[in-house]
C-alpha cells in the first residue's frame, strides 16, 4: 500500500508541477530572469557603461579595464569578444575589428558637434544588435559638449557565474509559482504516510497473532477494534471461523474422550467374564483382543487429556523418570531376547515437568524401539548432560518419505506390528505441553534414533 501511495503522490506532484509551475513559466517571462548569455551581455554592458561614466566625469577614474575580472571571465569563455570606448577624445579598446563607432558613422556625428549649434540639445542612441559576431550592443550619449560612447560584440557563451545566477533566479521563480502547492503536497504525503504506517503496524500485530495461534487452543480471538475499516471485516470473518473450528474441535475431543471412557467399563466387564471361561486357545485369543482394545481406550484417553486440563508442572528428576521407564520394560526386553541399556552422563537432572506425562513419552519411544528390534539386538537409552533423552535401536530405521506423518495419530509403518499408531502422537503432545523438542534421525551403525527434550532451557544450561 505504501508503494501505491508513493506512486499516486508522485503522479499528483508531477501533474501539479506541470500545471502550476512549468506551464506558467513557459507562458510568462519572469522579471529578472533571462537567458544566461543575455545575463553575460548585461554584465559586460554594466562594466563598460560604468567605466565610460567615470571617465567622462574625471579622466582616469574608470580604472584598468584589462584587469576587470568580469571582462576577463567573459573573454575566457568568448574568444571573439571585443569592446570599444571613446570618452573625452580618448579611446579604450580590446580585440580586433572595425568598431561600430566608425562603421555606423558615429565618428562623423560627433565631429558635427550638434549640441553646440543647438543649445540644450542632448543626443542619445542605443542599439541592441548593431551586428555580429554573437551578442552586441552600443550606446552613444552627447550632452553639453561632452560625448561618451561604448560598444561590445562577440558574446556567444555564458560565463559560469551568469549560468549559476540564472539557475538561482529560475529556482526562485519556480518556487514563487509552485512553492505553496509543493509544500501542501509534501505535507499531505507525510500525513498519509504516518496514517498508513500506523495501519500497517496494526495489521502486522494481527499477523503476528495469527502466526502464534495455537491450533489446539483457539480461545484467543483477534482484536477487531482499532483496525482499518478495509481490514476489519476480514478479521471479523477470521474470528467467526476460529470460533466454529474451536467448537468443532471441542465436540470431536469430547466424543473421542467420552467414547474411550465409556469403552473401559464394558471392556473390563468383558475381560472379567472371559477369565471365568474354561482355558483354551479361544479364551487366550479373546483376552488378548480385549487387552488391545483396553490399551487403545487408555491411549485415546491419554491423548485427549493432554492439554485439556493440564496438571501443574512441578520439580522432577529426569534421571529417575527415565530410569523408571527403562526398568518397567526390562522384563519385556529380556523376554524378546533384546538388550535394553540405560546410560546417563549425570546422576540428577532437575526440571519442571508433569512427571507422569514425561514417563509416558519416554516409555512410548522405548516401546517403539523394542517393537522394531529383532532378537539379539540392542536398544540404548541415553540421558545427555544437556537434558536430551536419546533412544537408539538397531532396527530397519524410518523411511524418509514417512518422516512427515510420523507423529500423526493412527499412523502405522508396518501392518505386522501390534498397536494403533498413537504412541508417537502422545509423545509429540507431551513434548509440546512442555514446550520442548523432539528430533528423529538415523542411529550410528544403522537403525533409528529418537531424541526428546522436555526442558526448553536445557540448551542454555552450563
259-317 pLDDT tens trace? 555 565 676 766 677 777 777 777 777 766 666 666 666 666 665 566 555 567 888 89
Mean pLDDT of 203-231: 70
- Percent of the chain exceeding pLDDT 70 equals 67
pLDDT exceeds 80 at position 440: yes
pLDDT exceeds 80 at position 17: no
In-domain check, residue 108 = yes
**Interatomic CA distance for residues 406 and 383, integer angstroms:** 23
360-397 pLDDT tens trace? 889 888 988 888 888 889 999 999 988 899 999 988 88
In-domain check, residue 225 = no
pLDDT exceeds 90 at position 122: no
| 261 and 319 assigned to the same domain | no
| 316 and 451 assigned to the same domain | yes
Which pLDDT score, from 0 to 100, does residue 389 have?
93
In-domain check, residue 176 = no
In-domain check, residue 183 = no
- Among residues 141, 157, 173, the one where a domain terminates is 157
- Among residues 274, 304, 334, the one where a domain terminates is 304
Cell, residue 125: 542612441
Confidence of residue 152 (pLDDT cuts 50, 70, 90): very high
| 315 and 456 assigned to the same domain | yes
Residue carrying C-alpha cell 552600443: 138
Confidence of residue 168 (pLDDT cuts 50, 70, 90): low
Lowest mean pLDDT among 52-61, 158-167, 334-343: 158-167
Which pLDDT score, from 0 to 100, does residue 130 have?
87
| 409 and 343 assigned to the same domain | yes
| 449 and 318 assigned to the same domain | yes
pLDDT exceeds 90 at position 245: no
Mean pLDDT of the chain: 77
Which pLDDT score, from 0 to 100, does residue 391 have?
92
Q: Which structural domain, as residue segments, surrounds residue 117?
A: 36-157
Mean pLDDT of 109-132: 78
| 279 and 352 assigned to the same domain | no
In-domain check, residue 203 = no
| 316 and 296 assigned to the same domain | no
pLDDT exceeds 80 at position 340: yes
- Percent of the chain exceeding pLDDT 90 equals 11
Highest mean pLDDT (candidates 10-19, 56-65, 257-266, 304-313): 56-65
CATH code for the domain of 294: 1.10.287.130
| 130 and 238 assigned to the same domain | no
pLDDT exceeds 60 at position 146: yes
| 273 and 319 assigned to the same domain | no
pTM greater than 0.75: no
Confidence of residue 106 (pLDDT cuts 50, 70, 90): confident
Confidence of residue 138 (pLDDT cuts 50, 70, 90): very high
| Choice between 194 and 85, residue whose per-residue pLDDT is larger | 85
In-domain check, residue 359 = yes
What is the total count of domains within the chain? 3
Confidence of residue 197 (pLDDT cuts 50, 70, 90): confident
In-domain check, residue 442 = yes
- Among residues 157, 182, 205, the one where a domain terminates is 157
| Choice between 398 and 74, residue whose per-residue pLDDT is larger | 74
| 281 and 368 assigned to the same domain | no
Sequence-distant (6+) residues with CB within 8 A of 387 are 318, 349, 351, 453, 454, 455, 458, 461
Which pLDDT score, from 0 to 100, does residue 339 have?
92
Handedness of CA 387, 391, 392, 398 (dihedral sign): negative
Which pLDDT score, from 0 to 100, does residue 415 have?
45
Which pLDDT score, from 0 to 100, does residue 321 have?
92
| 124 and 251 assigned to the same domain | no
Which pLDDT score, from 0 to 100, does residue 83 have?
92
Amino acid at each position: 500500500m505504501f508503494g501505491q501511495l508513493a506512486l499516486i503522490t508522485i503522479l499528483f506532484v508531477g501533474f501539479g508541477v506541470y500545471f502550476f509551475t512549468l506551464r506558467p513559466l513557459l507562458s510568462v517571462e519572469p522579471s529578472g530572469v533571462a537567458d544566461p548569455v543575455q545575463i553575460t551581455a548585461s554584465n559586460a554592458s554594466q562594466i563598460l557603461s560604468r567605466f565610460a561614466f567615470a571617465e567622462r566625469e574625471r579622466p582616469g577614474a574608470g580604472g584598468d579595464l584589462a584587469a576587470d575580472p568580469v571582462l576577463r571571465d567573459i573573454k575566457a569563455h568568448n574568444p571573439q569578444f571585443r569592446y570599444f570606448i571613446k570618452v573625452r577624445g580618448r579611446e579604450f579598446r580590446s580585440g580586433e575589428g572595425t568598431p561600430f563607432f566608425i562603421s555606423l558613422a558615429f565618428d562623423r556625428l560627433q565631429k558635427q558637434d550638434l549640441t553646440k549649434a543647438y543649445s540644450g540639445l542632448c543626443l542619445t542612441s542605443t542599439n541592441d544588435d548593431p551586428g555580429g559576431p554573437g551578442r552586441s550592443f552600443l550606446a552613444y550619449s552627447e550632452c553639453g559638449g561632452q560625448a561618451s560612447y561604448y560598444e561590445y560584440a562577440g558574446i556567444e557563451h555564458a560565463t559560469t557565474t551568469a549560468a549559476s545566477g540564472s539557475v538561482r533566479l529560475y529556482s526562485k521563480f519556480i518556487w514563487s509559482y509552485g512553492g505553496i502547492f509543493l509544500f501542501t503536497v509534501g505535507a499531505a504525503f507525510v500525513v498519509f504516510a504516518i496514517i498508513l504506517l500506523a495501519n500497517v503496524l496494526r495489521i502486522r500485530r494481527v499477523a503476528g497473532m495469527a502466526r502464534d495461534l495455537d491450533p489446539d487452543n483457539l480461545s484467543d480471538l483477534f482484536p477487531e477494534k482499532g483496525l482499518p475499516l478495509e481490514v476489519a471485516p476480514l478479521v471479523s470473518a477470521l474470528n467467526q471461523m476460529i470460533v466454529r473450528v474451536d467448537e468443532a474441535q471441542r465436540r470431536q475431543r469430547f466424543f473421542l474422550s467420552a467414547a474411550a471412557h465409556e469403552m473401559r467399563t464394558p471392556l473390563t466387564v468383558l475381560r472379567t467374564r472371559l477369565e471365568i471361561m474354561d482355558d483354551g486357545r479361544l479364551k487366550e485369543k479373546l483376552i488378548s483382543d480385549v487387552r488391545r482394545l483396553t490399551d487403545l481406550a487408555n491411549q485415546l484417553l491419554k491423548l485427549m487429556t493432554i492439554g485439556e486440563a493440564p496438571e501443574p508442572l512441578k520439580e522432577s528428576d529426569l534421571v529417575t523418570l527415565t530410569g523408571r521407564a527403562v526398568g518397567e520394560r526390562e522384563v519385556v526386553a529380556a523376554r524378546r531376547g533384546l538388550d535394553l541399556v540405560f546410560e546417563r552422563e549425570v546422576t540428577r537432572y532437575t526440571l519442571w515437568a508433569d512427571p507422569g506425562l514425561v514417563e509416558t513419552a519416554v516409555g512410548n519411544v522405548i516401546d517403539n524401539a523394542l517393537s522394531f528390534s529383532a532378537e539379539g539386538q540392542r536398544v540404548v537409552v541415553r540421558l545427555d548432560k544437556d537434558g536430551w533423552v536419546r533412544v537408539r535401536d538397531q532396527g530397519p530405521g524410518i523411511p524418509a518419505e514417512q518422516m512427515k506423518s510420523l507423529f500423526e495419530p493412527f499412523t502405522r509403518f508396518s501392518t505386522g506390528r501390534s498397536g494403533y499408531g498413537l504412541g508417537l502422537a502422545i509423545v509429540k503432545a507431551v513434548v509440546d505441553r512442555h514446550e520442548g523438542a523432539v528430533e528423529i534421525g538415523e542411529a550410528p551403525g544403522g537403525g533409528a534414533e529418537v531424541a526428546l527434550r522436555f526442558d526448553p532451557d536445557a540448551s542454555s544450561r552450563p
